[in-house]
Amino acid sequence: MSINRTLVVGDTIEKSALRFPRKIAIISGNSRLTYKDLDRQSNRFVNAMLGLGVKFGDKIAVLSRNCPEFVVIHYGLAKIGAVMVPLNFRYTGRELTFVTNDSETNTLIFQQEYIGLVESCRQELTNIQNYVCIGEDYGGRWVNDYYQMIDNHPDTSPNIMVKEEDEFNLLYTAGTTGFPKGAIITHKASIATNLSVIIDFYFEEDDIILISGPLFHSGQLNLSLHPMITMGGTAVLLSKFDPDEVLYTIEKERVTKVGLVPTMLYNLLQSPELTRFDLSSLKKLNYGASPIPRNVLEMALEYFKNIKITQSYGSTEDGLLTVLKPYEQLRKFGCTGRPLLFVDVRVVDQEGCEVLPGETGEIVTRGPHVMKGYFKRPRETEEAFRDGWFHTGDMAMIDDEGFITIMDRKLDLIISGGENIYPKEVEDVLYTHPAVSEAAVFGIPDEKWVEAVCAAIVLKPGMRVSEAEIIDYCTKSLASYKKPKVITFVNSLRKNEVGKVMKRQLKDPYWKEVGRKI
């Protein structure tokens, strides 16, 4: 056991290894790691890092799909107070260079499949002193071999003091509105989120959770990996989401719990293989990260009749904030739920006063679960934290029972002729049209009204409908100023790794000509 006197993330793996040494912690394909294996490998890894000159507080970037090595690295770095910077494996060279340089990373660890990408950026990665590849031995090349390194170092726990206020992760935002910012997550913030999630999302030590979303995302860390390892359960890792592979794995590994974004859930329910597999082990399912169409939720509730279905809401900066419980799914459809047990959440107006039920305001939160701030961005940090509360940028309504309904991102608000229009309200109407599969609403320049409502629509296979018909349909449910003025039909809507539509890319072509900041 380390010399820590406060509960930090590195301790959670050590405690679980003491409680359940022979229990399987990680399953990935044919690979299985017990808690004792995981603890020892994490010690070997960090001792190898110390041998490379890595020290407390250093930033270590990791470019990897879901795999046992990611988990070993994640918990190992926590034991020595180094800060992990998980990288999106979909990054282009430009994005990889920006995040790596911005974070001041001095060590880059990557899976073998990304060596070409990393090598193409090497000359621009100004701070990197060490490169480590999870793959074959590269001999005398510029890359250190991960497996050789851990084989050559002891499995004793490093004797380094780490405190709960110390930095644990530097998590970069999805960047849907511009270049991503690094959110500084402390050990205390991670543990605080962990405890709330374990209680409100029904985690138990005999759970087997399937993780098919990317672990570089805070949602998978906070809602899947951390609480499962803390409880001493088993985490089954898939390197990517594939509906049929998810179904096969649930049956094979007797998975009890799964977390999906709505797009994943829809694809799962639409799989022709759905009824072929025995899913009777599944007891709990959580969805979140983006709005869910009502028909998808109803399909899920019908097919998974006897399991607990929950919805989560949160962000990179604040972990998880709300939960919509199983018995509230239809009665409170459209809501993100109520605050987690140990989380303070309010909905406030521009003066910071709580809004009345039915009024719209911004979601703010405070507590140990919130990030320390944005890395090297004091102005953005100051803007985000006001009067002791973190301002999420999400606009919402709260009802008289305390349930919160997200209206939209503050930056996505459309102001047309002085009237506020929330894209989600328009999208909710569009989703009820029988021909519409997906919809994204955003503001475009308008000479008379400053902004007008535009909708990008993906039609269901074999369906045809005109722009005029869609606009007329909206007129029946929306005030005239809220209905779309322009409809554009597209084959697909580009989404980020958690299923959120990249609206910035839809808006950019319209706003570049008028010079508005976007």
* Cα–Cα distance measured from residue 194 to residue 233, given in angstroms and rounded to the nearest whole number: 14
Tell me which residue range forms the domain holding 169.
31-185
HSE value, Cβ hemisphere, 13 Å, CA-based, for 377: 18
Find, among 381, 396, 422, the residue nearest to 173 by Cα: 381
Domain final residue, candidates 185, 200, 230: 185
pLDDT digits (tens, 9 = 90+) for 48-94: 999 999 999 999 999 999 999 999 999 999 999 999 999 988 888 88
Q: Which residues contact 413 (CB under 8 A, 6 or more apart)?
A: 395, 420, 421, 422
DSSP state of 114: G
DSSP letter for each residue of 68-82: HHHHHHHHHHHHHT-
DSSP state of 158: P
DSSP letter for each residue of 41-73: HHHHHHHHHHHTT--TT-EEEEE--S-HHHHHH
HSE value, Cβ hemisphere, 13 Å, CA-based, for 137: 7
Q: Is residue 78 part of a domain?
A: yes
Domain final residue, candidates 134, 154, 185: 185
* Three-class SS of 364-407: EEECCCCCCEECCCHHHHHHHEECCEEEEEEEEEECCCCCEEEE
Report how far apart, in Å, the C-alpha atoms of 516 and of each of 42, 143, 444, 487, 508 are.
Answer: 49, 44, 10, 21, 10
How does pLDDT run along the chain (518 residues), one tens digit per residue? 444 456 899 999 999 999 999 999 999 999 999 999 999 999 999 999 999 999 999 999 999 999 999 999 999 999 999 999 999 888 888 889 999 999 999 999 999 999 999 999 999 998 999 999 998 755 557 888 999 999 999 999 998 999 999 999 999 986 544 567 999 999 999 999 999 999 999 999 999 999 999 999 888 998 899 999 999 999 999 999 999 999 999 999 999 999 998 888 988 999 999 999 999 999 999 998 777 878 889 999 999 998 999 999 998 999 999 999 999 999 999 899 999 988 999 999 989 999 999 898 999 999 999 999 999 999 999 999 999 999 998 889 999 999 999 887 767 878 786 677 878 888 988 999 999 999 999 998 887 777 889 999 999 999 999 999 999 999 888 878 889 999 999 999 987 666 678 887 888 888 775 544 33
Percent helix, strand and coil across the chain, each to the nearest 5: 35, 25, 40
Tell whether pTM > 0.85.
no
The answer to whether the beta carbons of residues 105 and 128 sit under 8 Å apart is yes
Q: Is residue 273 part of a domain?
A: no
Q: Is residue 269 part of a domain?
A: no
pLDDT at 1: 46
Q: Is residue 235 part of a domain?
A: no
* Three-class SS of 318-345: CEEEEEECHHHCCCCCCCCEEECCCCEE
pLDDT digits (tens, 9 = 90+) for 337-371: 999 988 999 999 989 999 999 898 999 999 999 99
pLDDT at 489: 95
pLDDT at 418: 64
Q: Is residue 164 part of a domain?
A: yes
Q: The CATH number of the domain where 139 resides is what?
A: 3.40.50.12780
* Cα–Cα distance measured from residue 73 to residue 102, given in angstroms and rounded to the nearest whole number: 21
Number of domains comprising the chain: 2
Q: Is residue 294 part of a domain?
A: no
* Cα–Cα distance measured from residue 425 to residue 202, given in angstroms and rounded to the nearest whole number: 31
Pull the structure tokens for residue 68: 């046992």
Q: Which residues contact 11 (CB under 8 A, 6 or more apart)?
A: 1, 2, 4
pLDDT at 517: 36
pLDDT at 515: 47
Domain final residue, candidates 129, 158, 185: 185
Residue where the block lists tokens 């296979």: 461
Q: The CATH number of the domain where 454 resides is what?
A: 3.30.300.30
